[in-house]
């Protein structure tokens, strides 16, 4: 069943910051002084109206809020009840602490008094740079583990960030804590946080709890080809330089993955095609000629691999299953994802409609293709980030092992019965060819 998506008007309202569902529940009381946070309050309203709410929500486990794009595009659609369910958060405790912060904010405005320290809000001592845990984590994303080529935050190596007076105290580990470069990794983490303007940083390298691959975020597992529970990591087929491991087909590779990992891995292939489209758009914008056949091949890839296969798996299988497990389809990430699928189809249609005129030498058609290619690439890059960082972690929490296995089987049926034998291998080769032609290989 096709799930209802947001209308373009609704999407524009969200981009411009106007409230959506739940806003009427997020209004201040008639006295104009007190804002009551309830389970039906949308996250965007909490972030706007409650001082210190961002740090508190992140500390409770709403990690995706660390990303400004997520705050802008997703939070207007998600209530605290929905977010707490998918992040396994104690809703009662969260509402208590948020209302405590809201009351502090109202008191400060009425009396002009400085805020008192409170357990619900991270302290900001006098003299310390105005830095919060979100900024610290984003800074640490610039640091890599010495032995696994990915950032230490999404690998799950950062265990705690605390503020003690003017110091930022970080507890972290490494994939191999006895690595000869452990000292260098600690120094790099401290330096990254110091660049935020913090005067004192302490990085504690801890052995317990020991790190294991289950701590990785889905985006890290997908990028590294890590299958949950397999205890090994290697680059997946689509993230590699274009070569399958000897004797291993794409479908055999998928058998080692959860359903959400299959989709994340497919994102890496789509990102490669987005780079091709961006390179082609750049040439068209500078007046250079791009082979029309390349553009037709790119449109074919996007329509069949990215939309018919990848988005088809999501819309016909993953999204309905998530709805059955309690994730609303009329609000939140599902509504956003479906609306963006439709936006992407419009961009691709714009490219396809201009191809004949471009091939005939129409320069206006070249501009149309470039504009739609840019629009599609920008949309899909943000879309992929939202799915890898927000939707798929939600899915992993909501879906049982049986759900994942059944979805994986349905995905395989899409590959064999809808796409057909050898199609993935053909698109894999097409990616290699187009990358070489655009100088990306």
Q: Do residues 199 and 268 share a domain?
A: no
| More reliable by pLDDT, 351 or 19 | 351
- Summarised one tens digit per residue, pLDDT across range 61-91 is 787 777 676 777 778 877 888 777 766 778 8
Among 48, 80, 111, give the residue marking a domain's end.
111
Residues 146 and 209 in one domain: yes
Residue 4 pLDDT greater than 60, yes or no: no
| Domain residue limits at 207 | 133-213
Residue predicted with more confidence, 115 or 184:
184
pLDDT for the residue numbered 307: 95
pLDDT score recorded for residue 256: 55
The domain boundary, picked from 190, 213, 236, lies at 213
Whether residue 31 lies inside any domain: the answer is: yes
> Rounded distance, CA 215 to CA 221, Å?
10
Q: Are residues 204 and 261 in the same domain?
A: no
pLDDT, one tens digit per residue, over 16-46 is 333 333 333 334 444 455 789 999 898 989 9
Residue 219 lies in a domain: no
Give all strands of the β-sheet with 158-164 in edge-to-edge order.
Answer: 158-164, 167-172, 200-205
Residues 306 and 209 in one domain: no
Start-to-end CA span in the chain (Å): 40
64 and 206 share one domain: no
Within 8 A by CB and 6+ apart from 294, the residues are: 276, 280, 434, 437, 438
Share of the chain above pLDDT 90, in %: 34
Whether residue 291 lies inside any domain: the answer is yes
Q: Would you place residue 371 in the very low, low, confident or very high pLDDT band (cuts 50, 70, 90)?
A: very high
Identify the CATH number of the domain in which residue 204 sits. Answer: 3.30.300.130
The span from the CA of 409 to the CA of 414, in Å, is 9
Residues 265 and 405 in one domain: yes
Q: Look at the chain and report how many structural domains it folds into.
A: 3
Percentage of the chain lying above the pLDDT 70 cut: 76
User: Is the residue at 118 inside a domain?
Assistant: no
Hunting for tokens 């470069």 — which residue is that? 181
Residue 328 lies in a domain: yes
The helix/strand count (H/E) of the chain reads as 19, 3
* CATH number, domain with residue 28: 1.10.3910.10
Write out pLDDT tens, residues 278-299.
999 999 999 999 999 999 999 9
Residue 294 lies in a domain: yes
Q: What is the CATH number of the domain that holds 404?
A: 1.20.120.520
On whether residue 386 sits in a domain, the answer given is yes
Q: For 191-239, how does the pLDDT look when each residue is reduced to its tens digit (9 = 90+)?
A: 889 888 888 899 999 998 888 887 887 667 766 654 333 333 333 333 3
Is 98 found in the same domain as 155? Answer: no
- Domain shared by 320 and 428, yes or no: yes
Alpha helix (H) residue ranges in 151-216? 182-194
Taking residues 233-258, report their average pLDDT: 42
Inform me whether the pLDDT recorded for 317 exceeds 50: yes
pLDDT at 126: 40
Closest CA to 55 of 43, 66, 40: 66
C-alpha–C-alpha distance, residues 251 and 425, integer Å: 10
Q: Could you read off the pLDDT of 389-407 as tens digits, one per residue? A: 788 888 988 899 999 999 9
* CA 104 – CA 72 distance, rounded (Å): 25
- Whether 208 and 331 share a structural domain: no
Task: Share the mean pLDDT of the chain.
Answer: 78
CB 414 within 8 A of CB 309: yes
Same domain, residue pair 277 and 336: yes
Q: Is residue 124 part of a domain?
A: no
On whether both 263 and 368 belong to a single domain, the answer is: yes
For residues 415 and 328, state if they share a domain: yes
Cα separation, 236 vs 266, in Å, equals 9
Per-residue pLDDT band for 369 (boundaries 50, 70, 90) equals: very high
d(CA 252, CA 93): 45
Q: How confident is the model at residue 113 (pLDDT cuts 50, 70, 90)?
A: very low
Confidence of residue 243 (pLDDT cuts 50, 70, 90): very low
Query: pLDDT higher for 248 or 130?
Result: 130
- What pLDDT does 120 receive? 36
């Amino acid at each position: 069943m096709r799930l209802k998506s947001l209308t373009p008007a609704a999407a524009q309202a969200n981009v411009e910051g106007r409230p959506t569902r739940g806003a009427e529940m997020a209004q201040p009381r008639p006295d104009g002084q007190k804002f009551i946070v309830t389970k039906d309050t949308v996250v965007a309203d909490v972030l706007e109206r409650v001082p210190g709410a961002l740090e508190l929500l992140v500390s409770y486990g709403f990690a995706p809020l660390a990303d400004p794009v997520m705050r802008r595009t997703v939070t207007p659609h998600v209530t605290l009840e929905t977010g707490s369910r998918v992040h396994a958060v104690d809703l009662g405790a969260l509402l208590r602490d948020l209302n405590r912060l809201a009351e502090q904010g109202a008191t400060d405005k009425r009396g002009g008094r400085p805020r008192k320290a409170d357990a619900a809000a991270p302290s900001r001592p006098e003299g310390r740079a105005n830095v919060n845990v979100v900024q610290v984590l984003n800074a640490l994303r610039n640091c890599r583990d010495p032995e696994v080529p990915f950032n230490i935050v999404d690998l799950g190596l950062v265990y705690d960030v605390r503020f003690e007076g003017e110091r930022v105290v970080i507890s972290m580990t490494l994939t191999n804590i006895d690595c000869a470069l452990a000292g260098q990794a600690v120094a790099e983490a401290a330096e990254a946080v110091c660049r935020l303007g913090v005067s004192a940083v302490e990085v504690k390298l801890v052995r317990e709890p020991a790190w294991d691959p289950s701590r990785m975020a889905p985006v890290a597992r997908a990028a590294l080809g890590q299958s949950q529970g397999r205890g090994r990591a290697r680059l997946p087929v689509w993230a590699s330089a274009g070569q399958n491991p000897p004797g291993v087909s794409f479908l055999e590779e998928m058998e080692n993955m959860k359903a959400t990992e299959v989709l994340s891995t497919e994102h890496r292939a789509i990102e490669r095609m987005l780079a091709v489209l961006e390179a082609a758009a750049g040439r068209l914008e500078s007046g250079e000629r791009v082979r029309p056949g390349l553009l037709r091949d790119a449109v074919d890839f996007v329509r069949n691999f990215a939309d018919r296969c990848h988005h088809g798996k999501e819309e016909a299988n993953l999204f309905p299953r998530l709805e059955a497990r309690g994730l609303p389809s009329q609000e939140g990430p599902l509504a956003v994802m479906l609306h963006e699928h439709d936006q992407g189809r419009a961009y691709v249609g714009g490219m396809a409609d201009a191809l004949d005129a471009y091939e005939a030498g129409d320069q206006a058609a070249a501009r149309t293709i470039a504009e739609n290619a840019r629009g599609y690439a920008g949309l899909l890059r943000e879309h992929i980030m939202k799915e890898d960082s927000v939707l798929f972690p939600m899915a992993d929490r909501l879906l049982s092992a049986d759900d994942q296995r059944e979805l994986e089987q349905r995905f395989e049926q899409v590959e064999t019965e809808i796409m057909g034998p050898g199609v993935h291998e053909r698109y894999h080769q097409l990616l290699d060819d187009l990358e070489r032609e655009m100088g990306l290989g």
